[in-house]
Structure 1
Amino acid sequence: MHRDQSPLRARSAPDLVPSLFLELDQMLDEFTRLPMRAKFRFDPAMPAVITVEFLAERGPSLVWLIGRELLLLGTTAMSGSGDVRMWPTLPGGRPASWLLLESEEVEALFEVPTAALVEWLEATYRVTPAETEMAGLNWDGFLMELLSGPATASE
């Protein structure tokens, strides 16, 4: 390594695992698909979480943080519960999975092509294996923030 290169710069996420852009379909109803593009980003500082930005043609994009394990498992079996779920489509078509996102404001179902997604997720696991993804977390800080509760506005 050149002396001007820091280890952090040498291990930056875009260099190790570039963002993945996927063309997917949002299911508006049983018969209507809206083609959409999504950007998947991996940050080695938060390896258990994948940032997915749904790029709208018009208007603001929508960002969701989704568990890396949930995405990988969802390519072969039902995965997730609550706000984010993913499962494979029926066999016979192109390799794809359904990704369901729910919140108070939105419910959206996407058909996600899985071949490129699996290849990209496997690259993230080569950078940070599953067994080490929680090693760098500040558990004390996390617990202190959790126990302190939400901040209240002063009057």
Structure 2
Amino acid sequence: MTNRWNPGHTAPVTLQLIGPQSWTEVPALLCYDATDPFAVRIAFGDIGDDSGVVDTDDGIAWLVSRELLQDGLDHPSGDGDVRVWPSASASDVLFLHLRAPSGEALFELSRAVVAGFLRQTEALVPSGSESGLLHLDDELHVLLSNGGADPSGR
């Protein structure tokens, strides 16, 4: 099954994977979809095609909080698997630390690119209005009705 995702806004970005003795350029795509208004997807690898549809089967994708990225532009943000913070010595440097059971990675990327991307997401869905786009009553009904199979839950 192909995991194809049609974003509301995307921005290409090059991350620098910081290794013990060298740095490696890692192409990625920042993706935002108003149907998942609290999240930003960071897709790594060969993930795009000419139609603008993102295919995450060919790469790795991380889902991170839009608010976490916004806060990380100005001060350390996040706890646990995803952390973001600005460089203390360079104005256009942002650090992104990702941790998974299989390992962890520290990236450096452009603060300006992330800030510009987040401004575009704000134009689609202003911060604070995300909940209005979610259909929580419908989702809750589906969950409580056993996925719609039997409204009595049996």
Q: Could you state the TM-score of these two structures normalised by the residue count of structure 2?
A: 0.74
Residue in structure 2 matched with residue 127 of structure 1 by the alignment? 124
Q: Name the SS of the counterpart of 1:52 in structure 2.
A: strand
| Deviation at residue 118 of structure 1 after TM alignment | 0.2
Residue in structure 1 matched with residue 23 of structure 2 by the alignment? 33
Residue in structure 1 matched with residue 68 of structure 2 by the alignment? 70
- Say if 1:40 and 1:51, in contact at 8 Å, map to a contact too: yes
Letter in 1 for 2:78: G
- Say if 1:94 and 1:113, in contact at 8 Å, map to a contact too: no
- Say if 1:26 and 1:109, in contact at 8 Å, map to a contact too: yes
Aligned residues: 128
Is 1:85 matched up with 2:75?
no
| Deviation at residue 45 of structure 1 after TM alignment | 0.8
- Say if 1:75 and 1:96, in contact at 8 Å, map to a contact too: no
Change in CA separation of 1:54 and 1:13 when aligned onto 2, cut-off 3 Å = closer
Is 1:50 matched up with 2:40?
yes
Residue in structure 1 matched with residue 15 of structure 2 by the alignment? 24
Residue in structure 2 matched with residue 114 of structure 1 by the alignment? 111
Q: Name the SS of the counterpart of 2:31 in structure 1.
A: strand
Letter in 2 for 1:79: S
Residue in structure 2 matched with residue 103 of structure 1 by the alignment? 100
Q: Which structure is higher in strand share?
A: 2
Q: Name the SS of the counterpart of 1:131 in structure 2.
A: coil
Unaligned 5+ runs, structure 2: 1-5, 47-57, 147-154
Q: Name the SS of the counterpart of 1:130 in structure 2.
A: coil
- Say if 1:26 and 1:111, in contact at 8 Å, map to a contact too: yes
Q: Could you state the TM-score of these two structures normalised by the residue count of structure 1?
A: 0.73
- Say if 1:40 and 1:52, in contact at 8 Å, map to a contact too: yes
Change in CA separation of 1:145 and 1:27 when aligned onto 2, cut-off 3 Å = farther
Change in CA separation of 1:130 and 1:37 when aligned onto 2, cut-off 3 Å = same
